[in-house]
Amino acid sequence: MNEIRIGLLGLGTVGAGVVKILDTHGAEMQERTDCRLTLAAIADADLVREREGIDLARLHLVPDARQVLDDPSIQIVIELIGGLEPARTFILRALAAGKHVVTANKALLAHHGAELFEQARRHRVMLGFEAAVAGGIPLLRAVREGLPANRIASVFGIVNGTCNYILSKMTDERLDFSVVLKEAQARGYAEADPALDIEGMDSAHKLQILAMVAFRTSLDLKDIYTEGITGVAHEDVVNAAELGYRIKLLAIAKASDGGLEARVHPTMIPAQSPLAAVSGVYNAVFISGDNVGNLMFYGRGAGQLPTASAVWSDALEIARRVAHGIPALPVELPSVAKAPLPLRPMDEIRSAYYLRVMALDRPGVLAQVAGILGRHDISLVSVLQKARAEGEAVPVVMLTHDARERDMRAALAAIDRLPVVASRTTMIRVEPA
Ligand code: HSE
């Protein structure tokens, strides 16, 4: 039986999961790949901290990544350091040395994917990144290997476990944002810098990678409209529930009229939508293909073992091929189609909207707000005044029909300039999902 030697960079939450899975499932994994899997070296700056469930004394721990990168016997490098540098340099070096690489690093791929894929292609090695999107759900493999006979019309869903956990708890247990964020961090769902989660960037990273694979187009991260959940007030979560909706952070990419729209933002979806039932750390992604129709993928989007399960799916695929001499094909790496889709600007998208206007409780105020919406071609579905306090600002909640984003922004600017409007209007997009 051929031996495949694997080096691991980073023994954090997911790295420890990779070690645990080899301990518990190594025998079956070796049987499936028909090769002996050896974790030859693990590099981490902190070799002292205890990792729950792992006997560090048994492992070959090294303090310096170069001891993995420069070891000619290591064929596969698993990068689980996260962040842009030094992860980028390490991966480029590993690929240049003819090593295959597996990474869960969505931020790095979203920023530097083109460079890394090019390097892998040049050195005819594989670069696996299943764990970068939707944790344990084998989503990228499903799109790449399961749907190549389709033109994809849309991919959208919940791809950040931390935000979903926070929004679910805020809705179901009426808890405050900051309390729930601390819980998510303690459970190991959140990024080292949780701002990446709650500001929507982690979802944008994943959408960039998913859209590149699904639509075979290059997509600049800065062109993905990104709004996180920090502005979602408890009040809006409650209002949404009363109106028969739930608020979820959705990542949305849709192809239409020869263009692609890509956006991440808090979204109100009907309470009976399957996505509304996705709670806690779970992720769910809908994909629509012209031949296959609609698909839904659901599973744990974050956490130690689900993410490590995805890491192993790539590592085992590579190990099997290396052990049996199956070459890496350049076409297996993401590439841009001959006619890539141009990106549609956010101003052009159409959506329904939820508005919470803080307006003085006085005759004629509603008519002024509705008048502005009407002049911008925005039609109302319902209006609800949430309190009575004559002469004071009260929340007025409105739902609109589909409107153009550009018109909505212009209308909001005009509404917020009205002397009878006390503070900035809250706007949340509504999708039929
Ligand atoms: N911070 C990420 C999340 C981890 O909450 O989904 C998985 O990518």
Amino acid 262: pLDDT: 98
> Which of 99, 206, 248, 254 does the annotation list as catalytic?
206
Rg of the chain taking only CA atoms, in angstroms: 24
CA atoms of 181 and 40, how far apart (whole Å): 36
Does the CB atom of residue 306 touch ligand 1 within 6 A? no
Amino acid 354: pLDDT: 98
In this predicted model, what pLDDT tens digit does every residue of 122-181 receive, in sequence order? Answer: 999 999 999 999 999 999 999 999 999 999 999 999 999 999 999 999 988 888 888 888
Amino acid 387: pLDDT: 77
Distance 1 CA to ligand 1 centre (A): 37
Distance 190 CA to ligand 1 centre (A): 6
Amino acid 324: pLDDT: 94
In this predicted model, what pLDDT tens digit does every residue of 342-366 receive, in sequence order? Answer: 999 999 999 999 999 999 998 999 9
Q: Which of 159, 167, 199, 202 to mutate to test the pocket of ligand 1 (most atoms within 8 A of CB)?
A: 202
| Nearest atom within ligand 1 for CA of residue 165 | 5
Amino acid 372: pLDDT: 98
- The domains located in the chain, with CATH, are 3-135+304-332 (3.40.50.720), 139-300 (3.30.360.10), 347-430 (3.30.70.260)
Nearby residues of 330 by Cβ (< 8 Å), 6 or more positions away: 121, 124
Amino acid 73: pLDDT: 98
Q: Which of 160, 164, 203, 229 to mutate to test the pocket of ligand 1 (most atoms within 8 A of CB)?
A: 160
How much of the chain, in percent, has pLDDT values that exceed 70? 100
Amino acid 190: pLDDT: 87
Amino acid 390: pLDDT: 78
Amino acid 188: pLDDT: 84
Q: Is 206 a catalytic residue?
A: yes
Does the CB atom of residue 203 touch ligand 1 within 6 A? no
- Please tell me the residue having the least CA distance from ligand 1 atom 7: 302
Q: What is the DSSP string of 218-271?
A: ---GGGSEE--STT--HHHHHHHHHTTEEEEEEEEEEEETTEEEEEEEEEEEET
Dihedral sign from CA coordinates of 159, 161, 162, 165:
positive
Regions of the chain with pLDDT less than 50? none
Amino acid 331: pLDDT: 84
